[in-house]
Amino acid sequence: MAHTILNPDGLHDPTPFGYSHTAAVPAGTELVLVAGQYGSGPDGTVVSADFAEQVKRTFHNLGIALAAHGLDLGHVVQLRTYVVDHDVSKLGPITGAVQEVWGSRPPTQTLLGVASLAAPDVLFEVEAVAARP
């Protein structure tokens, strides 16, 4: 990977919650910015009304977007996640999906609770920054 993930001493261990505190990208590394992805099929329609299914499909779609640049999910250094009507019960599916993809080395992540997203049936969206070595 072209980047370093670091969780400094003196801060809580965020990895059980599906994120890391910091990521450093060396000079000369190309950044790939991925617009908000959501749990849609190839035709753009949401694949399920189930929140957990939307989360899984969203990360699948993020992988497709990165592959178009010759990258994979391991190149992600930052996530920004948007959750409609966020409550604590939604953390489980998000954390589970992040841990499934990134294990003990998740990217930095900020979660934002929002009233709605672009379409009424979209419950979860993620945008990403990836680093190409």
CATH number where 88 lies: 3.30.1330.40
Instruction: Tell me: pLDDT of 39 over 70.
Output: yes
Residue 46: domain span: 4-132
Dihedral in degrees, nearest 10, Cα atoms 83, 84, 87, 88: -30
- pLDDT digit string, tens, across residues 22-35: 999 999 999 999 99
Please state the length of the chain.
133
Of the candidates 123, 121, 53, the one whose C-alpha atom is nearest the C-alpha of residue 87 is 123
Q: In the prediction, which pLDDT does 133 show?
A: 85
Tell me the whole-structure pTM to 2 decimals.
0.94
Q: Is the pLDDT of residue 118 over 80?
A: yes
What's the number of domains the chain is made of?
1
